[in-house]
Amino acid sequence: MSEQLVFQPSAAAIARTHVTKAQYEQMYARSISDPDGFWAEQAKRLDWVKAPTIIKNTSFAYPDVSIKWFEDGVLNVSYNCLDRHLATRGDQTAIVWEGDTPGTDGKATYRELYERVCRFANVLKAHGVKKGDRVTIYMPMVIDTAVAMLACSRIGAVHSVIFGGFSPDSIAGRVADCGSKIILTADEGRRGGKTIPLKKNVDEALAKVSGVETVIVVKVTGNPVAMTEGRDVWYEDAAAQVGAECPPEPMNAEDPLFILYTSGSTGKPKGVLHTTGGYLVYGALTHQLSFDYRDGEVYWCTADVGWITGHTYIVYGPLANGATTLMFEGVPSYPDASRFWQVVEKHKVNIFHTAPTAIRALMGAGHEFADKYDMPSLRLLGTVGEPINPEAWLWYHKHIGKERCGIVDCWWQTETGGHMIAPFPGAIPTKPGSATMPFFGVQPVVLSPEGRLQEQTKAEGVLAIADSWPGQMRTVYGDHQRFIDTYFTQYKGYYFTGDGCRRDEDGYYWITGRVDDVLNVSGHRLGTAEVESALVAHPKVSEAAVVGYPHDLKGQGIYCYVTLMAGEASDDALKSELRNWVRKEIGPIATPDLIQWAPGLPKTRSGKIMRRILRKVAENDFGSLGDTSTLADPAVVDDLIANRQNR
């Protein structure tokens, strides 16, 4: 029913838009028919040391996948985000910072940010960091984190930001994978009234991985932390010893900019590698057009910089556009469920961008928390990270947007660098729950699960992309074969997204969620394989299988089937022990929601776990288990159903 609802862009949105409906159609068509011409023009939004003459050089042809954009161009990302704005907007606020504790805030103008970045870059150089070196950043939501990222880009170092919620083990794995010799961290972070022991976590990680020579520690809370002589340095001490000037390193467009680890359906998280020119062109363009950003507006994306959304839509896209971007240290529920709206009023936010999981939680807390705030500054609302249910969309539109603000549902991935499917706010009518239409240069296709191209408009299947766009990841760091295996092998000639989708009669895309063994828990991506390997690492666990199930707030919850070693007592104490164990191994986002003791798992005679059955039982939908005749022991299923945890 609500899927039939269509919201036209408001008169105000149409009046101010960068791109009208007719322009969208005409520019989209050109971006597909003449990608070289289209992207050569778009590249001019950046300042290049040497402008590119070769624009698109890409192939999805299996097995020789190769992706290059602007390959003879030379530029520097931090120059584009900072230096080039100084003459026109040096005194404009670049970053507004709002602290976890109400009443704490700060800001940096473009000039101040520039100065802080140059100094930080000199600290990195003084500690031996060179172009191409990997720098791990494990920091909280403070301005210095953006400074650290930009400082890396200034000298051509490749950052690998790790979300502050990840555990010491997760840090160790990522540090080892990219071979970084330096970690930038803080004493502690703050979140929801609690402190997060960042430096302590780094210390624990470094007990498990070798090769890190330097840890630079930014003072955030000022609480005492252990410092290891000869390895650990306070940032403020190091900064006092370096100069203020740091020229930007000229980088080839295809030089790496950053690595960001993300979960896949198998194995350990993979290092998604993004490069310099294509990523920045795409990030800046999508930021400007998806949010119809204009000079002087205050833009707030509530993501953490530890995720791709924070990279592209808190730091790089907005700053390349000379925007004012807000960084929020806290959480939506602290001190209470009105915090977001207080911050919107306080900083006169024009564009607000968050995740469905936060919207659902705030909806659950009650609209009274938002009703107290008129928020006249708000113009546009964004949602990203997971499918948004129409009910939450409509609540967001009514209670936050006061039926005045458009909603931009952005579908994309860590791998895509920037938005892929999202409505241009002044051009595309929206439908609650649909990410709508593709961005310039993006050619979505719907395939049947077996790989047949669905040519009719109305279609359902898996979502793939037919050709490259500038923001696309280039490889899995250190493992190009894994890049090809993961994205280009199952459906040859296409980039496979891992998502299912439906295209309606108007050509609108409706993302239905992952079709692989990747979970989306509160907008955070998690491989079932990672949770399984954490569980089987526990001495009392013999075997584990993990699936997702629908969860009202989180989108998906984590459902674990656990087989214990012979003789272990299957009691609640052990369940909470396992929950804590997984938290410690991966991080709080991976905490199991439901654990079911499974004396046996449903396996085929060849020993393969039939996940389809496990998913059905976890969804409490076991009426239609499908064909179970290939099971080695069909009685296992009866036991699973009888003891199911989600009723």
Q: Which is nearer to ligand WT7, 215 or 392 (CB)?
A: 392
* CB 97 to ligand WT7: min, Å: 22
Which residues are at the interface with ligand WT7 (CB under 6 A)?
A: 262, 308-309, 384-387, 409-414, 435, 497-499, 511, 513-514, 520, 525
> Which residues have C-beta within 8 Å of that of residue 572, sequence separation ≥ 6?
none
Binding annotation: 191-194, 309, 385-387, 499, 514, 522, 525, 536, 538, 541, 583
Query: Which DSSP helix (H) or strand (E) runs through 359?
Result: helix 356-365
Q: In what order do the strands lie in the sheet with 475-476?
A: 232-234, 214-218, 182-186, 134-138, 158-161, 256-262, 270-275, 475-476
* CB 480 to ligand WT7: min, Å: 19
Pairing of strands 524-527, 518-521: antiparallel
Query: How far, in Å, CA of 588 to CA of 585, rounded?
Result: 9
* CB 482 to ligand WT7: min, Å: 16
Distance of CA 472 to the CA centre of its chain: 14
Q: Which is nearer to ligand WT7, 521 or 562 (CB)?
A: 521
**DSSP-assigned letter for residue 95:** E
Binding annotation for ATP: 385-387, 499, 514, 525
In Å, what is the CA distance from 469 to each residue of 251, 355, 417, 440, 569?
20, 24, 9, 9, 54
Distance of CA 248 to the CA centre of its chain: 27
Q: Which is nearer to ligand WT7, 287 or 514 (CB)?
A: 514
* CB 499 to ligand WT7: min, Å: 5
Query: 274 forms bridges with which residues in the sheet?
Result: 258
* CB 524 to ligand WT7: min, Å: 7
Q: Which is nearer to ligand WT7, 118 or 410 (CB)?
A: 410
Task: Decide: 196 and 190 in contact? Cβ < 8 Å.
Answer: yes
Q: Which is nearer to ligand WT7, 503 or 538 (CB)?
A: 503
Task: Decide: 330 and 339 in contact? Cβ < 8 Å.
Answer: yes
**Cα torsion 465, 468, 470, 474: sign:** positive
Query: How far, in Å, CA of 259 to CA of 159, rounded?
Result: 6
* CB 388 to ligand WT7: min, Å: 7
What 3-state DSSP class applies to 626? Answer: coil
b/e per residue 405-437 (b: at least 16 CB within 10 A)? bbbbbbbbbbbbbbbbbbbbbbbbebbbbbbbb
Task: Decide: 383 and 363 in contact? Cβ < 8 Å.
Answer: no
Q: Which is nearer to ligand WT7, 384 or 437 (CB)?
A: 384
Pairing of strands 66-69, 509-514: unpaired
Task: Decide: 325 and 96 in contact? Cβ < 8 Å.
Answer: yes
First and final C-alpha spacing in the chain: 27
* CB 538 to ligand WT7: min, Å: 26
* CB 206 to ligand WT7: min, Å: 27
Q: Which is nearer to ligand WT7, 173 or 418 (CB)?
A: 418
Q: Which is nearer to ligand WT7, 78 or 290 (CB)?
A: 290
**Cα torsion 282, 284, 289, 291: sign:** positive
Q: Which is nearer to ligand WT7, 301 or 617 (CB)?
A: 301
* CB 356 to ligand WT7: min, Å: 8
* CB 418 to ligand WT7: min, Å: 9
* CB 34 to ligand WT7: min, Å: 28
* CB 152 to ligand WT7: min, Å: 21
Q: Which is nearer to ligand WT7, 116 or 174 (CB)?
A: 174
Binding annotation for CoA: 191-194, 309, 522, 583
Q: Which is nearer to ligand WT7, 409 or 467 (CB)?
A: 409
b/e per residue 542-578 (b: at least 16 CB within 10 A)? ebbbbbbbebeebbbbbbbbbbbeeeeeeeeebbeeb
Tokens of 150: 């930009």
Helices 110-126, 143-155: inter-axial angle, 10-degree rounding: 60
* Number of neighbours of residue 82 by Cβ within 10 angstroms: 27
* CB 295 to ligand WT7: min, Å: 26
Q: Which residue is at the shortest CB distance from ligand WT7?
A: 414
Closest of 475, 79, 52 to residue 316, by C-alpha: 79
In Å, what is the CA distance from 530 to each residue of 365, 451, 486, 590?
32, 27, 16, 9
* CB 589 to ligand WT7: min, Å: 11
Pairing of strands 256-262, 158-161: parallel
In Å, what is the CA distance from 60 to each residue of 134, 313, 518, 633?
28, 27, 23, 43
Q: Where are the alpha helices (DSSP H) in 506-571?
A: 528-536
Q: Where are the alpha helices (DSSP H) in 207-329?
A: 235-239, 277-290, 308-310, 317-320
Q: Which is nearer to ligand WT7, 248 or 271 (CB)?
A: 271
Q: Which is nearer to ligand WT7, 292 or 386 (CB)?
A: 386
Q: Which is nearer to ligand WT7, 143 or 511 (CB)?
A: 511
